[in-house]
Structure 1
Amino acid sequence: MSKQCFHLFPKMREIDALITPELQARIHESYPELAFWVMNGETPLALPKKVKSQPYEPGLDLRRALRRKSGLPIDGLTHEYRRRDVGADDLLDACACAFVAWRILTGRSMRFPEDPPRNARGLRMEINA
């Protein structure tokens, strides 16, 4: 488990405590690499975004190109955050999730699995792309 994932747990617990089946009409879970998979014609990306925990520019460039080609109107987006706070890969991941939100809004999203099971609280166990 990555250090980054470990630091996300408090926010994951927070949303888990608040989410209801009714709120799932407005709150959706996504995963950046699944969004990039969709942008790439439902084909896995050939290059990683990191190698040995360091940014890998060819992989980041691939994701930037897919983001531009996706049609999501975010070309003016710049990276003005301090590097220690937000990395280029973090910004690209946020853009990928915005891409999924745009697909959900325009009725073009995909749900995995297509017919998701529900947990004991009635929540759909799904990821959106």
Structure 2
Amino acid sequence: MTSGSTYGGIDGCRGGWIAITLSALSGHAETYLFSSLFALWQELSDAELLLLDMPMGLKSKGREERRCDLLARQLLRPLRTSSIFPAPVRGVLDAADYAEANGINRRMGERGLSKQTWHLVPKIREADSLLRSEEGACRKFREAHPEVCFATLFGAPMTFNKKTEEGYRERMDYLLTLFPAADKVIEQAMTQFRRSAAARDDFVDALVLAVSGVVSKGDLNSIPDPQEQDEYGIPMSIWHAKLER
């Protein structure tokens, strides 16, 4: 279990969910791999905040995308805009396969569904189920996006793709300025977990979310501001920290 001074960054991965927690008091880091988000919630529900790289609130209909996605894409121009996938409409969560999901999104969302987004649907469904069934989860989880966090923490979008060696080094060089143990945390995580379960960039994504929680002390900024909500009261916002410069 974690303490109230702990902030978590969570990213979906091949093996389930990677979580990195950081103590705001000691800087101590822990890395976890959970098979389900419900198992993660059981273990980490005592954290101050949990920043999750996955769409949370969803629109039920209409061609217009979530405003948070549109604004985040603008913030990441010109090189990292493609990292923000259009979120599906809520009805897609009930689809059995891509063809059905694409049809639902075309009918209710008035646009097709990308294959990239379809691959995220099981994890979006899992997050939605947790948020709607566990009252405390909506208070602890915040939707966040690693590329938005990098851009707002360091003043500009990243130059290189995160999966390249240049992209990894670029992100780590920035993270080391805020969290000097960043290299050690990633190296330990790569040793601790098999690459078939999680990739190096999954750990980096989780870490920048956790760092954002710590440096902001939980006082995060919302895109958009004020935040919007879906029909179930789940925020449709992407949260981030912003350093004063």
Task: Give TM-score, length-normalised by structure 1.
Answer: 0.76
SS state at 1:113 partner: strand
Q: Residue type matched to 2:200 in 1?
A: A
Question: Matches of 1:37 and 1:28 in 2, distance apart?
Answer: 18
Name 1:48's counterpart in structure 2. Answer: 161
Report if the CA contact (8 A) 2:149-2:209 is conserved.
yes
Higher relative contact order (CA 8 A, sep 6+): 1
Name 1:109's counterpart in structure 2. Answer: 220
Equivalent of 2:206 in 68, 74, 94: 94
Q: Residue type matched to 1:88 in 2?
A: R
Report if the CA contact (8 A) 2:172-2:183 is conserved.
no
Equivalent of 2:146 in 11, 20, 32: 32
Report if the CA contact (8 A) 1:28-1:127 is conserved.
yes
Unaligned runs of 5+ in 2: 1-113, 241-245
User: Quick one: structure 1 residues 83 and 103, their matched pair in 2 at CA, closer, same or farther if it must change by over 3 Å?
Assistant: same
User: Quick one: structure 1 residues 116 and 31, their matched pair in 2 at CA, closer, same or farther if it must change by over 3 Å?
Assistant: same
Q: How many residues align?
A: 121
SS state at 1:116 partner: strand
Unaligned runs of 5+ in 1: 50-54
Report if the CA contact (8 A) 2:172-2:182 is conserved.
no
Question: Matches of 2:115 and 2:151 in 1, distance apart?
Answer: 22
User: Quick one: structure 1 residues 23 and 118, their matched pair in 2 at CA, closer, same or farther if it must change by over 3 Å?
Assistant: same
Name 1:82's counterpart in structure 2. Answer: 194
The superposition leaves residues 68-125 of structure 1 with CA deviations (integer Å, 9 ceiling, x where unpaired) of 1123754531221323322211111111221233245x13421111101221112221
Report if the CA contact (8 A) 1:32-1:96 is conserved.
yes
SS state at 1:28 partner: strand
Residue 22 of structure 1, CA deviation: 5.8
Residue 29 of structure 1, CA deviation: 0.9
Q: Which 10-residue stretch deviates more, 61-70 or 18-27?
A: 18-27
Task: Give TM-score, length-normalised by structure 2.
Answer: 0.43
Report if the CA contact (8 A) 1:72-1:99 is conserved.
no
Question: Matches of 2:182 and 2:141 in 1, distance apart?
Answer: 22
Question: Matches of 2:237 and 2:165 in 1, distance apart?
Answer: 31
Greater Cα radius of gyration, structure 1 or 2: 2
Name 1:69's counterpart in structure 2. Answer: 177
Question: Matches of 1:120 and 1:60 in 2, distance apart?
Answer: 38
RMSD of aligned alpha carbons? 2.4
Question: Matches of 1:6 and 1:68 in 2, distance apart?
Answer: 34
